[in-house]
Structures are given as C-alpha cells and as structure tokens.
A = this chain, B = another copy of it.
C-alpha cells in the first residue's frame, strides 16, 4: 500500500475517533457530523498537514490532530455553504447534503460543532502534551487566522456578494485565494510548524499550497463545464445558470488549462526546497491538475 493510501486510512479512522462520544441527548448532532465527515472527500488538507510535517522531519503522529482539525473545518464550511440560505446545494460528495438528510437546523449546528470540535482537538491536554503549548498555540493561531474574515469566511462573503453579477479577475482571485486557498495554505503551514521547520520551508510550503489551491479552483471551473453531475457528485453548470464569473468565463478554456499547468509547475518548483524526494506532494499536485472529478 502506498503512503497516500496509508495516510487516507489513518485520517479516515482518526476523524471518526475524534468525534465526540454519542451521548443519548446529543447523538443526532454527532451522527450529522459523522455523515458529512464520512463523505467521499479527497482529504487534500489533512494530507498536506501530514506530508509537510514528514517532509520537514516531523512526526506525523503529532500532526494527526491538526490534520483532522483542518478536515473538520473544511467539512463545516461545506455544510454551511450548502444550506438553502447560502448556495442551496442538495448534493455533495456524491450524496444528499447534510441539511437534506438532517434538516437545516441540525446541519447548522453540526457545522458549528465541527468548527468547535476542531479547536477542542488541537487544544486538548493530549495534544498540548504531545506537541507543546507554544507550537499548539502557533498552529492553532495559523488555523484561526486563515478561516476568519480575512480567510475562508471572507472568501465566502465575496462569493455571496458576487452572485448574479460578473466580477473582475482580481475579485475572483481574492475570492478563491480566501475561500479555498487560505485553508489549504494553513494546512501546509501547520504541517511545517508541527515539525519545527524554518522560515524558508514554511515559505516554500505556502508557495506550493497557494499554487495548487488556485489550480484546484480553475480545474473546478473547467469541470463544471466539461463534466457531469454523476461524475462530480455535485450539480454541474450551476455557475453558468447563475451567471457566475469563473476562471473559464473570464480567461476562456484554453488559457484556463494553460494556467493550471503553469501553477502546477510552480508548485513542483517549490518542492525543491525540501531535501527528500517528495513524490506524494508531486503526485498530489499533478493529480489535482489532471483530475476528472
């Protein structure tokens, strides 16, 4: 089994371990949290935490709570994003959205609970003991800063306010670098922080993560035009229907494809800062660029 498969298995198991226990009175919210965590996610963010930690000479067991935390944050953002008052998506990761199954109120609370649980896990006495309070505080701050108003939520705000109007490439860049990019960058940085990496490595990891983050989004926009709902596990052609600006609508299909290749090259160059042969991170960048779902 490859390291990638090992990681995915480790992450998937640990994500469920890290859920709160199922007390009778709260069992439904834990079930709703698990439902979305169990989706067929790519686990890109936790993979970045683990692999950048390893690439910087760190112990992935120390990085594991942070890996699960970033996936919980990502999952909370998807649940809230799918709600009727937001994107109103009934389908996610190939199955009905959280609110379709559990109702809007429970989905809202399951999202809130996942965000809160992420901080519970990384601030737990076990994590403090394993990683040290200073490192935990630095990594937790990196997470918080990247998912707030000038991070992920800020991106959601721009996205929401851009509905039904065409926006400039600058605004589109801002939106995606925050909405998707910030948590991807935080994941890579946190992996480095846990390993005690130096500034130059953190910068290289940031460069890599930024590049694959934008490339990922452009591929998303391309697939929204070229793929099918069945294949993607979420509704396609929504952008067009809603007159949303996308990389494809702004740059055209060819330029979009070319930009994905350029960004992937940039990501691969950033990996040169790391001594070891970073096949997993190379493969990840390449596979995200060439993915068909």
A contacts, CB < 8 Å to B: 20, 23, 25-26, 28-30, 33, 80, 83, 85-86, 103-106, 108-109, 111-113, 115-117, 119-120, 123-125, 128, 133-134, 136-137, 140-141, 144-145, 147-150, 153-154, 156-158, 160-161, 171, 174
Contact B28 A157 (CB under 8 A): yes
- Docked pose: A117 CA to B120 CA in angstroms: 15
Residue contacts A-B, CB under 8 angstroms, 12 given: A23-B154, A26-B154, A83-B85, A83-B108, A85-B103, A85-B104, A112-B112, A116-B144, A116-B147, A116-B153, A119-B140, A123-B140
Contact B140 A174 (CB under 8 A): no
- Docked pose: A27 CA to B157 CA in angstroms: 9
A112 in contact with B153 given A85-B105, A106-B160, A133-B137 (CB within 8 Å): yes
Query: Interface SS of chain A: helix, strand, loop or mixed?
Result: helix
Chain B neighbourhood of A112, CB < 8 A: 80, 111-112, 115, 153
Other-chain residue from B25, B86, B128, B145 in contact with A108 (beta carbon distance below 8 A):
B86
- Docked pose: A20 CA to B153 CA in angstroms: 12
A128 in contact with B137 given A28-B157, A153-B113 (CB within 8 Å): yes
Q: What is the CB-to-nearest-CB distance from A110 to chain B, in angstroms, rounded to a whole number?
A: 9
- Docked pose: A160 CA to B174 CA in angstroms: 37
Q: What is the CB-to-nearest-CB distance from A219 to chain B, in angstroms, rounded to a whole number?
A: 24
Q: What is the CB-to-nearest-CB distance from A144 to chain B, in angstroms, rounded to a whole number?
A: 4
